[in-house]
Amino acid sequence: MSSQGTIERRPPGRATALRPAPVPSPPGPRRRNRLSRLLSSSAVQALLMLVALVWITPLAGLLLSSMRSEQDNASGGWWTALTDPSQLSLDNYGALLEDSGIAEAFGNTVLISVPTTVLVVGIAALAGYAFAWLEFPGRDGIFLVVVGLLVVPVQIGLLPVAKLFGAVGLFGTIPGVVLFHVAYGLPFAVFLLRNYFAEIPREMLEAARMDGGTEWRIFFRLVLPLGRPAIASLAIFQFLWVWNDMLVALLFADSGSQPLTVALQSQIRQFGSNIGVLAPGAFLSLVVPLVVFFAFQRHFVQGVMAGSVK
C-alpha cells in the first residue's frame, strides 16, 4: 500500500491495554480541605483573636468599673486600673447584695425567667409532637395560625393585654409577666420543635407503637431524648430573651415585682448615674446568662448543627 494508507502493525499476541478514564475527585473534600487550611492560617487566627478582643473589651471594662469606687470612676477611665490595681475591690458587690431593692429584683428576675422557660419548652414540646405526628381535625389550619402569630410584634399586644390583666387582677404581678412571656414565646417555640420532631423517622415511631407503646410513653421515652439538642437550644434562647427583657417588665411589673433590668434602669439619674450600683448590677445580670450558655453549650451546638447534617 502507498505511504498515505499505511496501517500500523502491532506484534501478535499483545493485547492493547485499555486505560480507564480518570475519575475526577468530588469537589466537596477539596473545598473542605481548602477551608480547613484557610481557617488554620495565621492571618485568619489573628483576625479571629482581634474580633474576640473587640468583643471582650467592653466586658472587661464593665468588670473593672464594677470593682472601682465612684470617685475613681469619675476621675479616670476603667483602663487606669490596669496600672493601679489598688483601685479594685469588692465593696460595690457587697453594697449591692446588701441593697434590699436590688436583691429583691434579682430574685424577681429568677422567678420570671425560670418558670417562663419551663412552661414555654414544656408546652411547645407537647404541641410540636402533636402537630408533627398526631392526626386530629384542623391540625394544619391551627398550625398555620400558630405560624401566623410569629409576625405579630410584641408592641401591638401591650395595651390590650394590659387592660385584660387589669380586669382579671394580673396586672403588676409576677404571674402576669410570666403569662405574657409564655404567650408570646410559644409561637416560635412550637414552630421550631414541630419542624425538628417531624424529621424523626416514621419507622421508629411505628415500631414503638407496634411494641405497645402509648403516645405518652413514645413522647417521653423516644421523642424527648431525640429532640434534646433542639429543646436545649430553645431553652437557652428563651431564658436569654426573658432575662434581658425590660419592655414587658417595665409595663406589667410594679415596684414589688420588677426584675433586675427595671431596677437598674431606675438608678439612671437626670444629671448622672449611680455607677456604684449600675456597674456591678449590670455585670451580675450578664454573668448568669453566660453561665447558662456555657453550661448547655454542647447541646446548643448540636441543635444548631442538627438541621445541616443528615
pTM for the full predicted model: 0.76
Average pLDDT over residues 264-288: 76
More confident residue, 116 or 265: 116
pLDDT tens per residue, range 116-158: 999 999 999 999 999 999 888 999 899 999 989 888 888 888 8
Q: Which residues contact 238 (CB under 8 A, 6 or more apart)?
A: 116, 117, 120, 121, 185, 189
Q: How far is 175 from 253, CA to CA, in rounded Å? A: 10
The three-class DSSP label of residue 268 is: strand
Please choose, from the candidates 281, 286, 259, the residue with its C-alpha nearest in 3D space to the C-alpha of residue 94.
Answer: 281
Confidence tier at 62 by pLDDT (50, 70, 90): confident
The pLDDT value recorded for residue 189 is: 94
User: How many other C-beta atoms lie within 10 A of the C-beta of residue 213?
Assistant: 15
